[in-house]
Amino acid sequence: MRTPTRMKLFAAASLGLCLGAASLAARAQGQRANHQAASSSDQSSKAASISGTVTSAATGEPLRKARAQLLLMGQRGAQPTVALTDSTGHFTVDSIQPGQYILTVERDSYVVQQYGQDQPGKPGAVLTLAAGQKLGDLSFRLQKCAAISGRVVDETGEPIEHAQIRLMIRNYRGGKQNFDDVGQGMSDDHGEYRVYDIRPGRYYVMAIYQGRMYGEIADDFHIAYVPVYYPNAISADRASPIEVKAADEISGIDFSLTGSQVTAYEVSGKVINTITGKFGPGSMVMLTARSADEPRDFGHDTAVNPQDGTFRFSDVLPGDYQVTAMSNENGQRHDASEDITVGSSNLQNISLVITQGIDIAGRVTLEGVRDTSGISVALNRPGMNFVAPPRATVQPDGTFVLKGVTDGKYNIRVASQCNGCYIKSATSRGVDLPSSGIQISSDMGPSSVEIVFSGNTAELTGTVTGSGDIPAAGAFVALIPADDMPNRDDHFETSTTDQYGRFDISGIVPGRYEAYALDKVDQDAEPYRDPDFLKPFAQKGRSVYLSESDHKSIQLDLIAAENQ
């Protein structure tokens, strides 16, 4: 999120949604593509070039100093080639090697636009450039960003200062709907706020004010304010989304917070550090909501008292939370957590015990991968993104040791420089870890782990056609894994077609999939993860089974699947 550069009548926050080149670049790098270079040496020496014009969609005037960014797909860590438009809105990029690219254009206060994209948030097209190809007359018409503003008051109409305003999208993850926090603002001394740099889309807005910040000294009991979803709904299922169009200045998104119905309580306790018995500057406690109706990063932290290890949160509303203590000992992070429920009284005497944890040894066996350089093994805990996961580098002989693994349930992950590699199997004494996860309890867990890490992934290519059998450029292709696939959430594959209606997805984990070519879906909301969204199109998808090292090709018909 870009930090506001000025604060005048409104307190403001920029979402970074309009200037989304960084996220688009990350998405492009995440899409796996090959066949990026022409096969013959004389072809590869012939550079391509592109040129085009950038104008305002509202006025038609040329936009000077817009940034055209060309990013080669499938190259981890690749930097985009950038060209600025001149006073006529014209740009040129020369000396381009043949391959598949993501081309985006951005300018301050305008919505970023991808080549082949007809609406913000909808899929763009991959740009395929052949050796010596000169592609001119590309046209980008940028739309102005939008803004939302309003006022936050209490039950008497008095303005509330420092209320948080959260802008969210709703998506589908882990088998259920969730909110993703995509931006936020803050009310000023008049209770007014303004959130800007918003691209067109459908958003939920929430106002949060907890009185004094968590962790401050507070009186025994006092009234706190209930978080409110627009329009003044106290639960997510009663919230109404706001439709935002380009250049909108939507005012009147007001909130009236009440503290008359809910009493806030204190959550306090003690951290016991069995490693050193001390608490350095990096020691803290996090309190995070466990509800899917809360934004993922919704949480508060407080420092641990270095003298006795005590901590205290005030103004905590009733609900389900996770409280986590974190400590840094000699460069290694340790933590301890507990699920709690705040009911109708203070919750005191919570004891969080930080231990050395256990060491888990293992071995990685490679299939279709040259060597272990750059490979690491990590254990991730769902909902604990703020805690650094235990991680170990795989040695040349394939061994690794995860040190200091504390209590919790973990998913095993392997990271490498190989875009198309996956965990074929991970077992401990015959237990399938991708299905069951790794449970550490009271310093007890698996003594060893055996992992088979494979590069024998599959590739799926094909074409998408629309009405009249015309190739569909910029179609969004979603590859949906079977319900019984372990770590299913990790195996959704997506791509977009190029200007010729072609797509190429490589690095696919072997298994059974359903392939859909979708038109006009919001990629950020990821509706294709929701089975209910796909039900009306069940007969329009294509089933495909991909074995190890498979290379299959299919033809898909474009499905009009506008987000509902």
Number of Cβ within 10 Å of residue 444's Cβ equals 10
Tell me the one-letter amino acid at 384.
Answer: M
* Per-residue model confidence as pLDDT tens digits over 384-401: 776 778 899 999 999 999
Query: In 3-state terms, what secondary structure has residue 341?
Result: strand
Reported as a pLDDT band with limits 50, 70 and 90, residue 108 is very high
* Per-residue model confidence as pLDDT tens digits over 11-43: 444 444 675 533 444 444 444 433 333 344 454
8 Å CB contact between 354 and 275: yes
Structural domains of the chain, with CATH? 19-142 (2.60.40.10), 146-256 (2.60.40.1120), 265-354 (2.60.40.10), 358-454 (2.60.40.10), 458-560 (2.60.40.1120)
Which pLDDT score is estimated for 454?
A: 96
Measured distance CA(63)–CA(112) in Å, rounded: 13
Percent of the chain with pLDDT over 70: 85
Query: In 3-state terms, what secondary structure has residue 440?
Result: strand
Reported as a pLDDT band with limits 50, 70 and 90, residue 331 is low
Residue with tokens 């782990």: 449
Which pLDDT score is estimated for 413?
A: 93
Average pLDDT over residues 474-488: 92
Average pLDDT over residues 440-448: 84
Measured distance CA(132)–CA(45) in Å, rounded: 9
Number of Cβ within 10 Å of residue 543's Cβ equals 10
Residue 18: exposure state from Cβ atoms within 10 A (0-12, 13-18, ≥19): buried
Percent of the chain with pLDDT over 90: 56
8 Å CB contact between 287 and 300: yes
Backbone phi, then psi, for 503, in 5-degree steps? -135, 160
Measured distance CA(326)–CA(282) in Å, rounded: 8
Write down the pTM of the prediction. 0.80
Tell me the range of 168-172, 207-211, 292-296 where mean pLDDT is highest.
168-172
* Rounded-to-5 percentages of helix, strand, coil across the chain: 5, 50, 45
**Would the pLDDT of 447 be above 60?**
yes
8 Å CB contact between 515 and 544: yes
Average pLDDT over residues 125-129: 96
Tell me the range of 76-80, 276-280, 432-436 where mean pLDDT is highest.
432-436
Tell me the range of 315-324, 438-447, 474-483, 517-526 where mean pLDDT is highest.
474-483
8 Å CB contact between 288 and 342: no
Average pLDDT over residues 46-59: 95
Measured distance CA(484)–CA(473) in Å, rounded: 32
**Would the pLDDT of 7 be above 50?**
no
Which pLDDT score is estimated for 297?
A: 44
Reported as a pLDDT band with limits 50, 70 and 90, residue 522 is confident
Beta strands in 18-133 (DSSP E): 48-56, 67-72, 81-84, 90-96, 99-106, 113-114, 127-129
8 Å CB contact between 304 and 285: yes
Tokens of 356: 């050395």
Average pLDDT over residues 168-188: 84
Which pLDDT score is estimated for 523?
A: 76
**Would the pLDDT of 310 be above 50?**
yes
**Would the pLDDT of 130 be above 60?**
yes
8 Å CB contact between 319 and 234: no
**Would the pLDDT of 328 be above 60?**
yes
Which pLDDT score is estimated for 261?
A: 52
**Residue of 374, 312, 318, 327 lying closest to 345 (CA atoms):** 318
Residue 244: exposure state from Cβ atoms within 10 A (0-12, 13-18, ≥19): buried
Of 27-31, 429-433, 486-490, the one with minimum mean pLDDT is 27-31
**Residue of 428, 429, 422 lying closest to 410 (CA atoms):** 428
Which pLDDT score is estimated for 216?
A: 40
Average pLDDT over residues 355-374: 90
**Residue of 169, 193, 170 lying closest to 183 (CA atoms):** 169
Which pLDDT score is estimated for 217?
A: 39
Which pLDDT score is estimated for 262?
A: 60
* Per-residue model confidence as pLDDT tens digits over 246-280: 999 999 999 999 865 567 788 999 999 988 888 87
Cross-sheet strand order for the sheet of 391-393: 391-393, 376-380, 408-415, 438-440
8 Å CB contact between 516 and 529: no
222-226-228 Cα angle (round to 5): 160
Measured distance CA(242)–CA(203) in Å, rounded: 5
Reported as a pLDDT band with limits 50, 70 and 90, residue 82 is very high
**Residue of 40, 69, 74, 50 lying closest to 129 (CA atoms):** 50
Which pLDDT score is estimated for 9?
A: 32
Cα dihedral 429/435/437/438 (nearest 10) = 0
CA distances from 306 to 273, 279, 311, 324 (A): 11, 5, 10, 16
| Long-range Cβ contact pairs of 156-159 (< 8 A, separation 24 or more) | 158/191, 159/187, 159/189, 159/190, 159/191, 159/192
Backbone phi, then psi, for 348, in 5-degree steps? -120, 170
**Would the pLDDT of 514 be above 70?**
yes
Measured distance CA(78)–CA(342) in Å, rounded: 47
Residues 6+ apart with CB under 8 A from 521: 122, 123, 476, 527, 528, 561, 562, 563
Cis peptide before 389 (omega within 30 of 0): no
8 Å CB contact between 173 and 489: yes
Query: In 3-state terms, what secondary structure has residue 388?
Result: coil
Strands 113-114 and 99-106: antiparallel
Residue 278: exposure state from Cβ atoms within 10 A (0-12, 13-18, ≥19): exposed
Reported as a pLDDT band with limits 50, 70 and 90, residue 370 is confident
Higher pLDDT, 298 or 525: 525
Of 38-52, 143-157, 307-321, the one with minimum mean pLDDT is 38-52
